[in-house]
Structure 1
Amino acid sequence: MVLLLLGMLLTVIALPVSDSKEQTEEKQDLTENTESCEGDRTLLEAKLESILENTEGVGKVQVLLMTGEGKQGFYGTENTEVTGVLIAAEGADNSVTVQNIQQAVMALFQIEAHKIKIMKMK
């Protein structure tokens, strides 16, 4: 009986145990990666808003980008893949303006028209 208990004790001791420090570092890395992706998306949103607001007929805009998994880009860098775009624009009551915004977003992010929604801002 003692030998059985001793064998079980040795088995438990031999099991790999992750260090709490390693777990903390992994969580920090995950948080930093998430914040980096969030920062990239916010930068893209800000750039698109700036460009659209300086385009004739668009007026004030707000942009929300939906992103998916990153794609491997040039030189091994990871690029954020835009999977959907929501835009609220003052000039969205003009069909020509809406078409211009949609074409610009399609060209910029290489996404289909059905993944872009443009609404009139109140």
Structure 2
Amino acid sequence: MKTWKKKLTKENMAIMALLGILLMVIAIPVKKTETQKDQTAAPENKSTASGTQETEEEDNTGGYAGELEERLESLLASMEGVGNVKVMVTLDSSREQVVEKDIPSTMDTTKETDSTGGSRDVINSRQEETTVYVTDSAGNKTPYVSKIREPSIEGVTVVAQGGGNAVIQKNITEVIQALFGIEAHKIKVVKMK
């Protein structure tokens, strides 16, 4: 029994205290990461004055531009004489969600006649604008999105193996103009090294 009491003294108490501190250190980061996951699970909405909404996830237009680039690369690579191709598409803004608005208006017309026989029409009009909300099963209200506007294309650059040939350049430029409706001066085709 004496040996057990000896071992329970200073050394063992210090080891037990260190073990307790170690357990606390291990438990603290687990709680913080769970709350961080909860906060990042739902993207924040940013409302703009024009009745549109952007989410942080959608604010990054790299996905949309990247998809356009991949599709255009595969299309141009299948054209005769183009060869290997790289495409870069630049956008002028980010994706917008157009929020539905309820805009009731009233108009009153009054005809006034004065003592000299003159008359005039007085028109009073009033218009209000309110956002339409949708309530989900949990009771949360979110604005009703009527449509999503993709950003417009500002310019396209194509680097192609056949980009040194004037006929190939013209064909690539015409294809991009037909697909995206942008002017020829916003398209640049160059030869790949």
The corresponding residue for 1:101 is: 172
The corresponding residue for 1:48 is: 72
Amino acid at match of 2:44: E
Residue 75 of structure 2 is aligned to residue 57 of structure 1:
no
Distance (Å, rounded) in 2 between the aligned partners of 1:25 and 1:53: 37
Asked whether the 8 Å contact 1:67–1:81 carries over to 2, the reply is yes
Aligned residues with identical type, % of pairs: 38
Greater Cα radius of gyration, structure 1 or 2: 2
Whose strand proportion is higher, 1 or 2?
2
1:5-84 residue pairs with structure 2 within 5 A?
26=44, 30-35=55-60, 37-69=61-93, 70=95, 76-84=147-155
Deviations 1:83-116 (A, max 9, x none): 1011100001111110000000011110000000
Distance (Å, rounded) in 2 between the aligned partners of 1:116 and 1:32: 29
Give every structure 1 segment of 4 or more consecutive aligned residues whose post-TM-superposition deviation is greater than 6 Å.
Answer: none
The corresponding residue for 1:85 is: 156
Q: Give me the TM-score of the superposition, normalised by structure 2.
A: 0.45
Amino acid at match of 1:55: M
SS at match of 1:45: helix
Give aligned pairs, total: 98
The corresponding residue for 1:13 is: none
SS at match of 1:92: coil
Q: Give me the TM-score of the superposition, normalised by structure 1.
A: 0.70
Offset of residue 77 of structure 1: 2.2
Whose helix proportion is higher, 1 or 2?
1
Any unmatched runs of 5+ in structure 2? Answer: 1-38, 46-53, 99-145
